Amino acid sequence: MSQRVLTGITTTGTLHLGNYVGAIRPAIAASRAVGVESFFFMADFHALIKCDEPDRIAHSSRAIAATWLAAGLDADRVTFYRQSDIPEIPELTWLLTCVTAKGQMNRAHAYKAAVDAAVAAGEEPDANVSLGLFSYPVLMAADILLFNAHKVPVGKDQIQHIEMARDIGQRFNHQFGKGEELFTLPEAVTDAEMELLPGLDGRKMSKSYDNVVPLFEGGSAALKDAVARIVTDSKLPGEPKEPEGQALVALYDAFATPEQRQAFRAALLGGLGWGDAKQQLVAQIESQIGPMRERYAALMANPEQLEAILQTGAAKARAIAAPFLQRLRAAVGLRPYTATAATAVARTEKAALPVFKQYREADGKFYFKLLSAGGELLLQSSGFEQGREAGQWVARLKREGWVADAPVQREASETDVAAALAAFQQET
């Protein structure tokens, strides 16, 4: 079975170099691995909790979507969507809210931080706490559990939320699963590199420290300005400089090959001036970011294209989410009253599912094909001498999902095929 990796980015701001190096670049690289099914989304429901400026949320969502694509995300290969395009997410949030202990939410770091800040300011403890902020971890659990993600790459500050998602998923399985696992229990993945990129002042690059290098915003001029503000020591050109511990060197490393890193260190030890070093750093970053910035500008100038990509992504995500949610509704007792209605519901669900067709051709051989819910050809088998062989392959694909060495011709992207096959695993 392939590994499902899922992560979201809250759409409240624009991205900086730390987000790119720490989250986007490794996530895109990981999404290219075989056996990995990636889900990336704009967490715009989460943005509503932190931000009450509608225009800023709308702009941020669009900018972040364009950033992922400009940075090389292949939307055909992964499932790339806006959280708010998936109505199954808020619906699952409610089902999960009903099995979540309030006491557990009381212990969430983000909530406690808000309470501490209010108390310190001499206000009521819950003065600045909306129910949205309070139950933020439940919404995040729904994001993750709805797609049965195995791995969730996040920054350290989010580990507690993943643990809560596990906990909530486990409680739900226990209460409604009747011995069967409804939800996969997710694991947080933290990457040391994620925490490493320093900002202009040497502390971790972060909006809240006002020490960021913008990724695309402001163009190459903004990049140059930011680099000019990197704090160094006061050694003059010609004096040997200790490279280790310098924010400038760590930033250079993030965009350089091992050979380039070594040469840069040697030049500093040999007396390279900080001004020249900064010029080299700008050139180094620009060589990677420059071409992406152009793609970013093109995507931002073409909202129709961006919108179409996200609509496709939403359809792909919902092909997985909708049938699964039907199962969860039934598990908690939200069921049609009559058997006829139940079959009707089942029939609409069936109609919305992909199908395997088995048949025999004039050549006497047995074949099968997989059609999407919409009737599009996804897989075409080669001919089998025995009907049984074809049947066994169909059973195996239904059970295990996409098998790379299956004797079939793949007619659609691997992600589309995997998403269609996933529907069979949830069916049983």
Classify the C-alpha dihedral 260-261-263-268 as positive or negative: positive
Nearer Cβ to ligand TRP, position 109 or 388? Answer: 109
The token pair at 375 is 């009737």
For the segment 123-152, give every residue that binds ligand TRP (CB under 6 A). 140, 143-144, 152
Work out how close the CB of 154 gets to ligand TRP at its nearest, in angstroms, rounded to a whole number. Answer: 5
Nearer Cβ to ligand TRP, position 133 or 300? Answer: 133
- Binding characters for ligand TRP, 197-216, by CB under 6 A (x = yes): --------------------
Work out how close the CB of 6 gets to ligand TRP at its nearest, in angstroms, rounded to a whole number. Answer: 6
Tell me the C-alpha distance between 316 and 147, whole Å.
Answer: 11
3-state secondary structure of 283: helix
Instruction: State which of residues 158, 280, 326, 415 lies at the interface with ligand TRP (CB under 6 A).
Output: 158
Select the span of 1-9, 287-295, 315-323, 339-347 touching ligand TRP (CB under 6 A): 1-9
Nearer Cβ to ligand TRP, position 85 or 389? Answer: 85
Nearer Cβ to ligand TRP, position 6 or 370? Answer: 6
Q: Which residue has the tokens 């694991």?
A: 187
Q: What are phi and psi of 36, to 5 degrees?
A: -115, 130
Nearer Cβ to ligand TRP, position 144 or 325? Answer: 144
Nearer Cβ to ligand TRP, position 157 or 427? Answer: 157
The size of the interface with ligand TRP (CB under 6 A), counted in residues, is: 12
Q: Specify the amino acid at residue 181.
A: E
Counting Cβ atoms within 10 Å, is residue 240 exposed (0-12), middle (13-18) or buried (19+)? exposed
Q: What are phi and psi of 397, to 5 degrees?
A: -65, -35
CB atoms closer than 10 angstroms to residue 230: 21
Counting Cβ atoms within 10 Å, is residue 146 exposed (0-12), middle (13-18) or buried (19+)? buried
3-state secondary structure of 161: helix
Instruction: State which of residues 2, 7, 14, 84 lies at the interface with ligand TRP (CB under 6 A).
Output: 7
**What string of DSSP letters covers 302-328?**
-HHHHHHHHHHHHHHHHHHHHHHHHHH
- Binding characters for ligand TRP, 267-286, by CB under 6 A (x = yes): --------------------
For the segment 10-69, give every residue that binds ligand TRP (CB under 6 A). 10, 43, 46
Q: Which residue has the tokens 């400009």?
A: 70
Instruction: State which of residues 8, 22, 169, 198 lies at the interface with ligand TRP (CB under 6 A).
Output: 8
Tell me the C-alpha distance between 257 and 238, whole Å.
Answer: 25
Select the span of 3-11, 268-276, 304-312, 377-385 touching ligand TRP (CB under 6 A): 3-11
CB atoms closer than 10 angstroms to residue 257: 9
Nearer Cβ to ligand TRP, position 320 or 370? Answer: 320
Nearer Cβ to ligand TRP, position 118 or 133? Answer: 133
- Binding characters for ligand TRP, 341-370, by CB under 6 A (x = yes): ------------------------------
For the chain, report the end-to-end CA distance as a whole number of angstroms.
16
Tell me the C-alpha distance between 425 and 399, whole Å.
Answer: 6
Work out how close the CB of 204 gets to ligand TRP at its nearest, in angstroms, rounded to a whole number. Answer: 14
Cβ contacts of 334 within 8 Å, gap of 6 or more: none
Kindly list the residues in this chain that would bind ligand TRP in the complex (CB under 6 A).
6-8, 10, 43, 46, 140, 143-144, 152, 154, 158
